[in-house]
Chain A
Amino acid sequence: MNASLAETPSLGSSWPLWRRQIVGILRLEIKKNFLSKRALPMYLLAAIPVVILMMLAVFDRGMQRGVRTNLSQAFIVFSNLHEGLILRTVIFFGCAWIFMNLFRGEVVDKSLHYYFLSAVKREVLVVGKYLSGLIASCTLFLLTTIGALFFLLLPRGLQANLDYIFDGPGWAQIVDYLGITILACIGYGALFMVIGLFFRNPIIPALLVYGWEWLNFLLPPMLKKISIIHYLHSLVPVPVNEGPLAIIGEPTPSWIAISGMLAVTAIVLGLASVKIRRMEIQYGSE
């Protein structure tokens, strides 16, 4: 065999190269983390709201009677379920699982060097990994939201649903809920990725954030704004009653909620890039 190595193929200029690298990272990450056995708990978690509403649709006809005859009432039920169960629990813990493992999981598995020894800027690696988490979480939790909506509306019959969706406010509400789900994945995803990078044991900070997000309704208006759930809450199309103890604050306008969350996400990703750029592989000390 000829000893000399063949000419290394050119990798081209920055933007097209970064795009290809991100595609390469996505391909690897999605296969490694989301099409493997380790993703099973995440799928089970995502299925919980769908299974609950499916069982209600199939078995609990008495409890659903009011809902079936009143679609507005159904969306109030859904709004509470979406915020209380899907956003605060399923997406929260789902994103914690997905995004904290993006880097922390690699350190635990002692496989991060696979990326660190590649001709890839670490900033590109952060973006690629974050996008892989975002694709997985959005796909999964959008399916959760759609599945839950489907079983909520199923008992009403096709015609009534079509009327409500296309001739009533249904379509806009559905789009809003799907949009909120995506925003939740964007916000919680960035937060948990950074927690996974900065803390050796990210469970404790994740639980602290969980408590903070749950107690958000009790916080004074200024403190409410230091949370993701506050902005998501501001966007829901059907208001959620937070109970008699809730301290009511002025809702944040939609455009501020959305652009603010995106801006904070960008800042958090910048922080992650700085951290990952300085990161050393010392598996032994982890």
Chain B
Amino acid sequence: MEAAINIPINSTAQASVATEQMIIFEDVSKFYGEILGVNRVNLSIAPGITSLVGPNGSGKTTLMNLMTGLIQPTRGRVKVLDFSPSDPEVYFRHVGYCSQFDSFPAGHTGYEFIYSYLRVQGYGKKVADQMTWQALERVGLTEPAKRKVAGYSKGMRQRVRLAQSIAHHPTVIVLDEPLNGLDPMARADAIRLFRELANSGLHLIISSHILHEVNAMSDRVIFIESGYVKAAGDVEGVRNELEEHPLQILVRCDQPSTLAARLFQESHIVEVRIHDDRMGMFVKTRNTDMFYELLHHAVLEYNLNIETVATVDNDLNAVYHYLIGARQEGE
């Protein structure tokens, strides 16, 4: 069996965040009979946008369902801001979940869907009405609010679910594929809303298949595959820990051969490939900091004329490729 990986997220950034502001998974496993959902997950998640990425069936939704108490762990413990899902009356005042379940009470309008949800929680008529309109306004759904949900497009249904999840002003918002079905404008608006919410100190846990959007909006990413958390943290930090995949750096300069000869003297340099036009090179290094320091020295020493220095494979796509594999990318 694959060994569990215990990865505190963003350990430096989170050091100052109190436990009661964190989402914590302590050695959490979930089995559906003999089928593995997730296994031995240890996570501590601070406020901000945390994205879950992984192929279909990797355990993203299981993690979200565990976080929201829809399922209970077979082993271990989940705590959200020091609250437990076993006390829903307190817990769900702080947590909102925009699930993928595409089912709405029959005959309800978008407005009634959210209003009824708030009334069930115990809000009075006037307050529930105000909160409903506020949530609908946030997702840009005030105009069709009085139409039946059954007649909504996929994107509108997604937005009304999103409105429901934020209507009661939660501190933790869990969003399962919230960008699915949204057109590009609505996606941009949704991402802007997520950023606004995160900037105001909330937790947003988002699962998504669209890596470039995850890359653009996330403060940190959890990579999950086959029920195991493979890595977690900010993308750059995770990339730096992938020692078996040396970082590729593009350098465009006027003396690539000279620079290559100098670089090969260092043990952290794994590979240098000079471009056909003899005006640049790809460098693979196991230690980025030492490479940049070396480059500075080389510039001074050989009077190099540097045109470009850029990392090639430290974005989310590359990290996903290395961790989870090219064959599963984009699933």
Which residues of A are interface residues toward B (Cβ below 8 A)?
A: 1, 3-9, 11-12, 17-18, 20-21, 23-25, 27-28, 31-32, 36, 38, 109-111, 113-122, 124, 278, 280-283, 285
Contacts and interface: CB of A to CB of B under 8 A. Distances in A.
Contact of B92 (A111, A117, A280, A283): A117
A6 B137 CA distance: 14
B72 A280 contact: yes
Contacts of B310: none
Given A21-B122, A111-B103, A114-B117, A3 B72 contact: no
A20 B71 contact: no
Interface string B115-141: 011011111100100010010011000
A118 B117 contact: yes
A119 B89 contact: yes
Interface of B: 32, 65, 68-72, 88-93, 96-97, 99, 101-108, 116-117, 119-124, 127, 131, 134, 137-138, 166, 168-169, 196-197, 199-202
Given A32-B105, A111-B105, A3 B199 contact: yes
Contact of B197 (A3, A8, A124): A3
Contacts of A7: 169
A120 to B, nearest CB: 6
Q: Which of B32, B65, B71, B116 has the most CB of A within 10 A?
A: B116
Contacts of B138: 1
A20 B105 contact: no
A27 B116 contact: yes
B184 to A, nearest CB: 20
Contacts of B201: 4
B74 to A, nearest CB: 11
B71 A280 contact: yes
A31 B107 contact: yes
A119 B122 CA distance: 8
A17 B131 CA distance: 18
Contacts of A282: 32, 71
B70 A28 contact: no
B169 A8 contact: yes
A17 B127 CA distance: 14
Nearest to A285: B32
B92 A24 contact: no
Contacts of A124: 89
A280 B70 contact: yes
A281 B100 CA distance: 13
B103 A109 contact: yes
A273 to B, nearest CB: 13
23 contacts: A4-B200, A6-B134, A9-B127, A20-B119, A21-B121, A24-B116, A24-B120, A25-B120, A28-B105, A28-B120, A32-B107, A110-B102, A111-B105, A113-B97, A114-B117, A117-B96, A117-B99, A118-B88, A119-B91, A120-B88, A280-B70, A280-B72, A282-B32
Contacts of B103: 109-111, 114
Contacts of B200: 3-5
A218 B92 CA distance: 52
Nearest to A109: B103
A212 to B, nearest CB: 33
Nearest to A5: B169
9 closest pairs, A vs B, by CB? A3-B196, A24-B119, A119-B92, A24-B120, A281-B70, A4-B200, A8-B169, A5-B169, A111-B103
A85 to B, nearest CB: 31
A27 B196 CA distance: 34
Contacts of A36: 106-107
A116 B69 contact: yes
Contacts of A115: 120
A117 B68 contact: yes
Contact of B120 (A1, A31, A118, A281): A118
B101 A110 contact: yes
Nearest to A7: B169
A6 B135 CA distance: 11
Contacts of B127: 9
B107 A121 contact: no
A116 B97 CA distance: 10
Contact of A8 (B93, B116, B137, B196): B93
Contact of B123 (A11, A27, A116): A11
Contacts of A117: 68, 70, 92, 96-97, 99
B93 A119 contact: yes
